[in-house]
Amino acid sequence: MSVPIHSRPLMVLRLATSATQDIGSTPQGTLTIFPVIGGSFEGERLRGKVLAGGGDWVTAHGDGTVTLDLRVTLETDDEGLIHMTFTGVRDDANHYFRTVPRFETAVPKYAFLNRLVAVGIGEIRPEGPVHLIEEIL
Amino acid sequence: MNTRLLMTMHVKVGTPLNVGAVPHGTRRTAPLGGGTFEGPRLRGTILPGGSADWQLLRSDGVLEMDLRFTLQTGDGALISMRSFGLRHGPPEVMAAIGRGETVDPSTYYFRTMPRFETAHPAYMFLNRLIAVATGDRRPEGPIYTIHEVL
């Protein structure tokens, strides 16, 4: 018996990045690192800010796709720390930008994050990337 | 979030290897001995050898899965599929699965996030998509219903 896919909003994540570090053409593709210097996240169950110090390792491939590999630390408004990573794919020709976030936290209130899988719908806005992240139920 | 069915996969599980207590939890490796997949755009068989599930039972009771499959389509293309997944639920439900019983899959959480790699022109679309799967752990092996995230 198959279970249909249901999801519900988890958070909207906004990232602020500084000047890129252009590693250049490597055997894996063209690697550009986007240092994360801040940002915010907001959802019904959690909200807070993105701490400086993370980044997104973005590789452009020969087939027109871009893969993402992000790690950041989130700090909730009640001072919980959440380690967040995602991998993802961007295919601008098809307006496709999706990520698969994962979370790790030691804070009991947010332990539900350790137990879920999620999907992010990414958008590039003038003020920076925005990810609409949904929990897969 | 919009999705559409990519395929349904029936997996045959071999005899698991119990690696035991490792620093992060209890590790177990299950070779995947074959199976089939079928969907509107692709169908074929799971190749044994190179297909396995590396499982870690965490201290919080969540089973983490690291699945790798090699798929062969009916027209001969090879597709590498890797999934990360989580499985957890009420203790009595997880115990029933452990005893090899058939359990209603809506009573526990079993979700995976597959990614695909292929060099075959007919299946290049797989390289560009994110997918989500729901799992149903049957005594004979798991059934995954894999949806493309649109």
Pairing mode, if any, of strands A66-76 and A96-105? unpaired
The per-residue pLDDT for range B16-69, each reduced to its tens digit, is: 899 999 988 999 999 988 999 999 999 999 998 878 999 999 999 999 999 999
Residue among B8, B128, B134 whose CB faces A89 most closely: B128
Nearest alpha-carbon partner for A28 in A55, A56, A65: A65
Least CB–CB distance from B128: residue in A5, A65, A111: A65
Tell which residue, B108, B50, B104, has the closest CA to residue B81. Answer: B50
pLDDT on residue B50: 78
Say whether residue B145 is in contact with chain A using an 8 A CB cutoff. yes
Across the interface, of A3, A98, A100, the residue whose CB is closest to B106 is: A3
Q: Choose the closest CB to B145 out of A2, A100, A117.
A: A2
- pLDDT (0 to 100) of residue B51: 86
- Quote the CA–CA distance of A111 and B62 in Å, as a whole number: 11
Record: contact A89-B130, CB cut-off 8 A: yes
- Residues B114, B131 contacting (CB under 8 angstroms): yes
* Residues of chain A neighbouring B129 (CB-CB closer than 8 A): 89, 96, 98
The chain A residues in contact with chain B (CB within 8 A) are: 1-5, 7, 63, 65, 87-89, 91, 94, 96, 98-100, 102, 111, 114-117, 119, 121, 134, 136
Q: Name the pTM for this structure.
A: 0.92
Give the pLDDT of residue B33.
84
DSSP codes, B88-128: E--HHHHHHHHTT----GGGSEEEEEEEEEE--GGGGGGGG
Cα separation, A127 vs A63, whole angstroms: 28
Nearest-neighbour CA in chain A from B145: distance (Å): 6
Are A2 and B136 within 8 A, CB to CB?
yes
Q: What is the pLDDT of residues A82-109, one digit of tens each?
A: 999 999 999 999 999 999 999 999 999 9
Q: Is A111 helix (H, G, I), strand (E, B) or coil?
A: helix
ipTM: 0.87
Give residue for tokens 């560009």: B128
- Residue B129 to residues A124, A137, B1, B4, B137, Cα–Cα distance (Å): 18, 20, 14, 12, 25
Q: Do A121 and B1 touch (CB under 8 A)?
A: yes
For B64, nearest residue in chain A (alpha carbons)? A115
Beta bridge partners of A33: A21, A57
Assess contact for B127 and B90: CB atoms under 8 A: no
Nearest residue to B51 (alpha-carbon basis) of B37, B39, B38 = B37
How much is the pLDDT for B73? 97
Position A1 pLDDT exceeds 80: no
Minimal-distance CA residue of chain B relative to A3: B134
